[in-house]
Structure 1
Amino acid sequence: MIGENLIIKSLQIALKIFSILVTFLIAISFIIFAIFTITNLIVYLNSKNSPLPLTPKDYAIVLGASVHGDSLSGVLRARMETAIDLYNKKLVKNILMSGDGTDSNYSETTAMKKFALKNKIPEEILITDEKGYNTYATILRAKEIYNINSAYIISQNFHLTRAVWIAREIGIDADGVGAGEVKEKWYYSSREFFARTKDYFQIIFKVTPYDEKNFNL
């Protein structure tokens, strides 16, 4: 009997510990979910475009995407075509093309510039930023390195909320111009849910992307 009582008491203690752990994990999960939800809501509410018609700005900032040699992916081609359209309509004076361009065998910015030149955009208004490795780095460098204060940010619609919010938070008069949608919208939308929270805290804590070398031309 004594042995059975010890077993029962041990099981009861184990169940209590398990119950506490489950409750703790549920509470932590709820807090984490709340943080992601609240930060996403803040970013969304502070990144809406003005309902007024587009007015001229100094720059179009084209966010990079994958290339194959000098051939742009469909996503990036749509972004470049949108930037070119803004320039032709005299809504921007310059085009900043940002992406990964530091590898001699792979350069998003080189391919973007060649595409713009083929479409008869004057070379003197084209600027390439080879160290725009991600959205956060691109926007910060646009402000800190290229002294951009007014810009249209160009990407697919799923991406614009985060990019425009970052720009406004660091003092750029920014609006987004959508370059269409993507096929895997559910995947990219899910990824953005986490990316918005990540960049929210990077802005709050003034994180320098990668390292100080990123802030050299």
Structure 2
Amino acid sequence: MKFQRIIALSFTIFTVVIAHNAFSIYQFSHEDQTRVADCAIVAGAGVNGDRPSPVFQARLDHAVWLYRQKFVSALVLTGSYSIGASDSDASIARLYVLTQGVPDNATFIEERSTVTRENIRYAQTIMKHQQWQTALLVSDPLHMLRLQTIARDNGINSWSSPTPSTRYQSWWLQTRFLLRESFYYSGYHLLRLIPVQNNSTIM
């Protein structure tokens, strides 16, 4: 009976934490902190063949807009190789933004990341090399709180600049996205207590 009470209490605590984080994620998703910064870091979202996925393209379109409006002077595009792909997600994204008028010398790519945490870590390496101090973070609105939390934990002075629209438009898709983000965000906070080498592949 005591074991069952412990299980019930643990489940209750877990549910409360997830619900609290879901509310925080949803609330933050409505914040747009767009301002002038050195660069924009675009979170990867996969590709379809030789083109960015619709979700990734929406993020890239917003990053291009930030560049055109002179909020940033460079774009940092992230993403490793999708299964079966000969080009990295980041290199495919780079080709896309070049067709949208962003010059070659304003695009930087990292081709090693497979999860959000690595997107930020490897983008930070580029920032240090270029001696950039500030960044706008570009992703879907419900992704922004986790993305910014990771960026701040990595010492990046950053602000949220979510896509103005999202491909996750239906109630069902948004709910799934929110639940997934709540799980990953909660897990990230828990795993911050563990040395980096033991959790470097966590979303």
State whether TM-score is above 0.5.
yes
**Which residue number in structure 1 is paired with residue 121 of structure 2?**
140
Aligned counterpart for 2:180 among listed residues 178, 187, 191: 191
**Which residue number in structure 2 is paired with residue 168 of structure 1?**
152
Percent identical among aligned pairs is 23
**Which residue number in structure 2 is paired with residue 125 of structure 1?**
106
Helix, strand or coil for the counterpart of 1:91? Answer: coil
Does residue 114 of the first structure (1) align with residue 95 of the second (2)? yes
Aligned counterpart for 1:78 among listed residues 28, 39, 58: 58
Normalised by the size of structure 2, how large is the TM-score?
0.80
Instruction: Decide which structure has the larger Cα Rg and report it.
Output: 1
Conservation of the 8 A alpha-carbon contact between 1:86 and 1:92: yes
Distance 1:145 1:125, change over 3 A: closer
1:26-65 aligned within 5 A: 26-36=8-18, 54-65=34-45
Q: In 2, distance between residues paired with 1:136 and 1:198?
A: 12
Conservation of the 8 A alpha-carbon contact between 1:43 and 1:200: no
Conservation of the 8 A alpha-carbon contact between 2:49 and 2:85: no
Q: Which runs of 5+ in 1 are unaligned?
A: 1-18, 211-217
1:130-155 C-alpha deviation (Å, 9 max, x unpaired): 11211111112222454253111111
Q: Which runs of 5+ in 2 are unaligned?
A: none
Helix, strand or coil for the counterpart of 1:143? Answer: helix
Distance 1:141 1:40, change over 3 A: farther
Conservation of the 8 A alpha-carbon contact between 2:29 and 2:142: no
Normalised by the size of structure 1, how large is the TM-score?
0.76
Q: In 2, distance between residues paired with 1:79 and 1:169?
A: 23
Deviation for aligned residue 1:74 = 1.3
Query: How many residue pairs end up in the alignment?
Result: 191
Distance 1:28 1:203, change over 3 A: closer
Conservation of the 8 A alpha-carbon contact between 1:47 and 1:165: no
**Which residue number in structure 2 is paired with residue 23 of structure 1?**
5
Deviation for aligned residue 1:176 = 1.4
Distance 1:127 1:165, change over 3 A: same
**C-alpha RMSD of matched pairs (Å):** 2.8
